[in-house]
Each structure stands twice: as C-alpha cells, then as structure tokens.
Structure 1
Amino acid sequence: MTSELSRRDAVREAAASIIPAALADLGALVRIPSIAFPGFDRANVQRSAEAVRALAEGTGVFESVVIADAAIPGSEERGMPAVLATRAARNGRPTILLYAHHDVQPVGDETLWESPPFEPTVRDGRLYGRGAADDKAGVMAHIGALRALTDVLGTDFELGVALFIEGEEEAGSRSFAQFLSDHADALRADVIVVADSGNWDAVTPALTVSLRGNARFTMTVRTLEHASHSGMFGGAVPDAMTAAVKLLSTLWDDDGEVAVVGLAVRDAETPEYSEATLRDEAGLPDAVRPIGRGTILGRIWNKPSITITGIDAPSVVNASNTLSPEVTVVVSARIAPGQTAREAYEAIEAHLRAHVPFGAELAFRDVDCGDGFLVDTSGWAVESARAALREGYGVEPVDLGVGGSIPFIADLVREFPAAQILVTGVEDPHARAHSPNESLHLDTFRHALIAEALLLEGLDAREA
C-alpha cells in the first residue's frame, strides 16, 4: 500500500464488493430455524452454530474457532451452543471483541407473515425472514468486515480479534455470565462491539449510548379455592379477573404514565422526534393517542414503562359462567438507565402488594432482571466508531438511546471493566424485530458492513 489513505479506500472498496456474497450467506443462516426457547429443537441451534463456525473458519483470520456452551447457574442444564473464535494481537495493537447472536425469536402467528419466515425473500429493497435483521445480519456484518480487511491486508494483520456469536440471547442469555467467566482470557479485549441495536433511520447511522434495563416476572392473582357459579355468587364473591384488572390498572395514571413510586427517571435531552414519525414507525392508528408525558423519545429512552405481555385466563372459546379462581400474568417493565433492575422490580412488587384489592393473594415467580447501560462517550474507541460510521454511511452519525434492553451488557461491564463497549446495529425503525415480517434494509446492511470494515482497519493501524 502506498499510503494509509489508499489502504482505507481499498478496504472500503473491498467491503462494498463482498456485499452480494455476505447477503447470500445471510440467507443461508436465515433458513435455519435457530430458536433457543424451551420446547424448540436444540438441534437447529446446533446446526446454526456449525454454520457460523464454518463462516468464521472461512475468513482465515483466527487461530482457534470452537463451538462451546456453559452451565446455567443453579441448574443442571447447559446453555445453547455459541461460537468463539480468537486471534492474538501483535506488535502492541489493540484487541477487538465482535459480538452478535445467531439464535432468533419464535415466528408467532405464521399466517401474519407475507412470506415464509425461514425462507429469505427480497421485496422492495428489504430482505424478509426471521433473524434477517435480529441478529444474523449482525453476524454477517462481522464476517463481512473481516473478509474485507483480509482482502486488502491478508490474514497477517496485527489487530487482535475475538468473535463471540451467542446462541441464546433471545431466550434470556441464561448461561452468558458463566460463559464469560469460563472464557475470560479468550474474550478479554480493549474494545467490544455489540452488533445488536439499531439506527436512527434507514440512512442515518447511530451509536447506542443508553439502554433501558428490564424487569420481567410472572404474577398470579388468586381469590378463590375453586371456580364458582357466577350467577350463584357473583356480586358478593370477587373473581380473580376482576381483582387482576383492578390491580394492574393502578400501575398507570390516566395519561398512561407509570404510577409506581420508586421508579427512576433519567434527566437527559433527546433529539426532535415527531408524533407522525412515531405513528409511522410503530404502526399507531390515527385514532389511538400516544401515552405518557414529555418528549416522545424521553418517554422511550429515559422513563420506565410497564407492559402486560401475557395472560393465562379462560379463553373466549372456553368461557363459562364461572368466577375464575386465579389469573396469571407476565409483567415486563423497562427501567430508566441508571437505576438497577432489582431495585425497580422491588418497587413494582411493593406497589402491587400495597394496591391489591379484596385481599386477593399474590404470588410472584420467574423474576428476571437486567440492568440498563450508559456508554462513557469520552473514550477513543467512540470517536473511532463515529468516524467509521460517518465514512461508511456518508452521513453524520447520531448518539441514540434505546428503549429496549440488552441485559448481558452489564455482564460484559462487570467481567471486562477496562473495555470500551460500542453498541451498534444493522436495524432501522421498520425492521420489525421480534414481529411478523421481520426484515433487513439492504442499503443499511451495506453501509453497516462497510463502516465496520473501516473501524477494523483503523484499529489495526492504532497502537494499544
């Protein structure tokens, strides 16, 4: 190479040229239904891990590529298979850890999909399929960026690289912390890129600098020892559904703002974001008004939210004239960055116990807490990432807060406190991750892959 500029331009061109092959490999990954939830075939997750291992080996970059799992603490089970690939840094160069996950969400109601969920389909500049965006595109952004780097520099470059492709992120990352502990030496890095977030829109890149935490739990409301005739006893005996509805309604005020004492709110500015944009990106009908108060992004990024995501009660088809003895609900709370999820959960449980009507009995189980995340934006890696995004997309990047949660980042911070963590992504607001008709915007993927290749090139030229 005649100059650093020509080297960087060559990496950019190489990244652009390998996009078709990267998309073909992404399509092959999407065809594997790698759902890590209980009740689904673990063999598919294993098959997906084997496909990712082959892709990692094919780069020619790594000294070691293995499929590994870890014990689930407090259980005799083991977690889902992950791919771990490593190469050591040379001559004082830094090491970068590239994270993504190869497991996917269940498809839900398949009749809502416009094309088969595990058959990658291109329509109107988007690739449709479960995992096409979340997060097999993240896997291929890493693989594609490494391919571009080696096309220009060969496999003998000096940057240290660890690749960690998890196999159970959508199912709660139950063995994640143990995996980090088991493989701490292999995973230790100066910079960690978590490719599992989104962008401002389809053309504007973003670096995620804040994430809400989450507290998810199951609650059973019980009012009777057994079901009773609603005509014989209705009006004197409370049924569990009435108690549950009254209790759950106390979680919000009339504006839909969370009304639980003890839940924190982060005080931070947010960019302009209109109600019209919210309606378009969320699919909010004209007649339905948004909930909460304050700026829209402030509600999503910096305030808590509570959602009832599941309920076990008599179905409509099985409805009978009886008083239900118990109702079970799943409560999912998002926690403002800066507050621990456990503290928030305890505030919600205390609120529910204090407001339970009719002396109903409450039972709580399956409590799952994950802390939020705030990026220290003063580090050199953040500036390197912004520069790469700017060059890769041709648009000035923005700092983004995300209302969703990536709880395992707290594990990364705890295990590797000296690492600079960069949360990036290949999704745009219309990706519909976790929903029917999940899709990847193809131009966004192209820019994301180029940007990551440029980030790797820049780090390879930097002394640790």
Structure 2
Amino acid sequence: MSIRAQYISLLKQLVALPSVSAKEAYLPETAQLIADAFRTLGAKVTYDDSYFAPIVLAQFTTNNPHASTIVIYNHYDVQPAEPLNLWQSDPWTLTSRDGKLYGRGVDDDKGNLTARLAAVAEYLSENNNELPINITFIVEGSEETASRHLQDYLAKYHDILKADLIIWESGGKNDQDVIEIFGGNKGIVTFDFSVTTANNDLHSSLAATANSAALRLSQAIASLFDHDGNIVVPHFYDDVLSPNEREKQLVQSLPLTRESFITQHGLTTPLHSDLHDADLKATLYFQPTLNIEGITSGYTGPGVKTIMPATATAKLESRLVPNMLPDTTLQHIKKHLQAQGFSDIIVTKTLGQPGYRSDMSDPEITRVIAVAAKYYNVLPVVIPTSPGTGPMAIMHDALQAPIASLGIGYAHTRDHAPNENVRLVDYNQHIDVIKSLIASYRV
C-alpha cells in the first residue's frame, strides 16, 4: 500500500468517529487515533487530556540546531452532520465517487490533517528519513466550539513550542479554481437572548392587551439594526482596526464580484453592501457582523394553536475584526438593549475569541506564496483575512509567528453542510505543496 493510500485509510477511520465537539462526543478516541499515527511516523508525541478535548502535540526534529520550525495547526473536531436526510451517503462513512471524497470532516478538518501527515511521511521516505526543518503539529479538539482551553494548553507547553511560520488548518481554491492563501480570520462572540413575559403561555385573545415573548424578543433583535441592515448598537465599531493600504489592495484585487457572490451562494435577498452603498469586498473581509443564528418560541407543530408564547430564545453571533474584544462587544449590545427599554432580555455569552491578521509581506508568508505559485503555475490569490473565524489570535499570541492558510478545499466543498466533500486532485496537490514547502528550507 502506498503512503498516500495509508493516510486515506487513516482518514476513513477518522471520518467514522463522529467527533462533534458541540456534543463532546468521541473526542478522546479521535485524539488517540491521531496520536498513534504520529507515533508510527516517528514523532515525539504529547497527548494531554487535561480538559474535555484532548490536545495532541507531535514534534519532528532535525539535527541542525539552526533549523527553522514550522508549526502545522489542525483540529479533529467536526460540526454536527444534521440534517441527515440531505446527505447522499452516510456522513460518518468516507465515500469515494466521481473523483471526490465525501464525509463529515473530510475537508474541515480531518482531510487536511491526513494530507499533511502524508506529506511528511513521503518526504521522510524520499529523503533518508531526514528533514531540513523542525515540524510541530498542534492538533486540538474544540475548534468548532471556539477552541475552548487551547490557550491553556499552549500556555502549559510554552517552553517547548516555538515557530517561524504557522500553517493553518484549512483553505482551498476559489470558484475560478485558483488556490487562495489567507493570513488572518475574524474573531467571534456568540450569545443567547431569552425573555419570559408570563408564567405560562396565554390565550391569544389577550394579544389585545399584552406582548408575547415572541414579539418582545423580535422587537429587541430588530432594535440592533436599521431598515438597511446597518448595525446601530452605539460604540459597536469603535475598536475596529482599519486595514492598511496593502491589505486594501489585496482585497480589491480579488476576483469576487457581486454577481458571482450571489450565484455561488444562491442568494435571493438584497446584499447589505448594496443597501448602504458600501464595497462588497471591504465589507466582507474588514467589517464585523451581527447575525441571528436561530429563534425558538411558541407552537410550530401541525395545524393551529392560538397561544401567546410566554418564553422565547434566540442564538446570535458577532464576527469580530482585529482589535475588537468579545466581552467588550457584548457589553455594548447589553447597554443598547437597556437603553432601548429591553432590560428584561437576558443576554448570556456562550463562546468568544478575538480576530487576527498576518503581515502578508512577512518573508515566511512570501515563501509560502512563492512555493504555491511555482507548484500551481499561477499566482495564488492572497487574502489578508478570512470572513470566517478560528483561533489565529490565540496561536499568534502564544507563538509570535506569521500565519498562512491554504488547504485541500474548493469552491463547492460544503464545509459544515450536508455532502461535505473534497476532490482527490486537490487533496493530492496539497500533499505535493507541503512537501515543496519543506524542501524550500534546504540549504
């Protein structure tokens, strides 16, 4: 069996473990499997289960005391697979069809991890079991739930962790099939709203004289925005770190258009950037968000039940740009609700982490760009920050190294959605790119 086939087999085993961190399920089993794979490859492995999601540190070292160190960050936890009826095959069974691999976590993030393991294994096999650099894998199990305790783990192992470059967990090609390299991502704060308006659900005839919890909650949420979707919470934007000129130029050079964005995501409502005459690219990459993830209240079963719900809850999130702090942002929202007369809305923080942007002119970042450009024979699309979220700020604070994100995905990978998939050609190309990056450090 070839090395690549061995790690596809490992990927199959990993996908079969439904390691959903939101449910705290199968996390130790998955971490142990990964730790064993590193040990088999000859790494010095640290497995630490001090917290609910074990962390795996795997160190490959060279004899050169002056060698650089790359840290490769990945995670083994995944999103829930529901709704299951929309999957064309079992989400917990790695399935190959039409040149693609399907399964929950096949891109985000188990496939990226196994591709990188295969790259190190092949390089060692082809180079007398020697590396020109030190490589440390940091594999955590709570990325999908705001990397709880990652900061604690990194602090615990601060003395043995160093880096000149951090390769991030994922990435891929855009809808024009050009590889993208990201240098940052947004932070996040997630929180719940809840309200109770009566001791129990009321007869709906009383709507003439009282508010239901559903209406009260809806009014509170609506107060966060104006009619064009602008966030009107006072001081919400006070700490936003504006992009520098290079970051602006990189984003403006992206091939993204209003039409391609609408088509790619199947949008049927107006874009916020159109409503308030803003630039789509700058808004997507450099502005914070405020989003309603879901609302629950009242009766939603078949037929009719004429009640006024006594309770209502909503889950919300705010994606944060660098310099915005989760707790400060949430405090602005709480003060706004009180000022608008919604002091009865209970606000409960659930998760939070700050955002981060790398200097895209850093020599280690330009090294990654050059390696990718040579391999793919096209200049990568370089993006200073992703509109998504991850613990980049936590990793940078701990290791003080620039971060570059690229991976095995493509425009229709469907991360977090049913039928998550990667193309085998992209998977294999990423193995080659990581090998080329390692080779670029040879003197």
1:205 alignment counterpart: 179
Once the two structures are TM-superposed, the CA of residue 87 in structure 1 deviates from its matched residue by: 3.3
Identity %: 24
Q: Does 1:175 align with 2:155?
A: no
Residue identity in the other structure for 1:349: K
Residue identity in the other structure for 1:442: L
Q: Which moved more, 1:250-259 or 1:442-451?
A: 250-259
1:350 alignment counterpart: 335
2:214 alignment counterpart: 241
Q: In the superposition, relative to structure 1, how do residues 392 and 420 fare at CA in structure 2: closer, same or farther (>3 Å)?
A: same
Deviations 1:282-330 (A, max 9, x none): 232xx43333342322222112222211223124118632222221111
Q: Does 1:292 align with 2:273?
A: yes
Q: Does 1:189 align with 2:170?
A: no
2:69 alignment counterpart: 95
Q: Quote the RMSD (CA, aligned, Å).
A: 2.3
Q: Does 1:131 align with 2:105?
A: yes
Q: Does 1:65 align with 2:45?
A: yes
The within-5 A match list for 1:5-404 is 18-38=3-23, 41=25, 44-60=26-42, 62=43, 64-70=44-50, 78-91=51-64, 92-201=66-175, 203-231=177-205, 233-264=206-237, 266-267=242-243, 268-269=248-249, 270=251, 271-284=254-267, 287-293=268-274, 294-317=278-301, 320-356=305-341, 361-400=344-383, 401-404=385-388
Scaled by the length of structure 2, the TM-score of the pair is 0.89
Q: Distance in 1 between matches of 2:435 and 2:293?
A: 39
Residue identity in the other structure for 1:218: D
Once the two structures are TM-superposed, the CA of residue 138 in structure 1 deviates from its matched residue by: 1.6
Once the two structures are TM-superposed, the CA of residue 260 in structure 1 deviates from its matched residue by: 2.8
Contact 1:142–1:452 under 8 Å retained in 2: yes
Structure 1: gaps (5+ residues) = 1-16, 71-77
Contact 1:255–1:292 under 8 Å retained in 2: no
Contact 1:258–1:304 under 8 Å retained in 2: no
Deviations 1:76-129 (A, max 9, x none): xx2212221113443210111111011111111100111110112223332111
The 3-state SS of whatever aligns with 2:182 is strand
Residue identity in the other structure for 2:180: A
Scaled by the length of structure 1, the TM-score of the pair is 0.85
Contact 1:145–1:456 under 8 Å retained in 2: no
Count of aligned positions:
426
The 3-state SS of whatever aligns with 2:345 is strand
Deviations 1:408-462 (A, max 9, x none): 2221122222x22222232223111111111112222222221111111113x25
The 3-state SS of whatever aligns with 1:196 is coil
Once the two structures are TM-superposed, the CA of residue 221 in structure 1 deviates from its matched residue by: 2.3
Q: Distance in 2 between matches of 1:249 and 1:46?
A: 42
Deviations 1:54-85 (A, max 9, x none): 3212323x2x1232123xxxxxxx22122211
The 3-state SS of whatever aligns with 2:168 is strand
The 3-state SS of whatever aligns with 1:66 is strand
The within-5 A match list for 1:403-442 is 403-406=387-390, 408-417=391-400, 419-442=401-424
Structure 2: gaps (5+ residues) = none
Once the two structures are TM-superposed, the CA of residue 280 in structure 1 deviates from its matched residue by: 3.2
Q: Distance in 2 between matches of 1:341 and 1:360?
A: 21
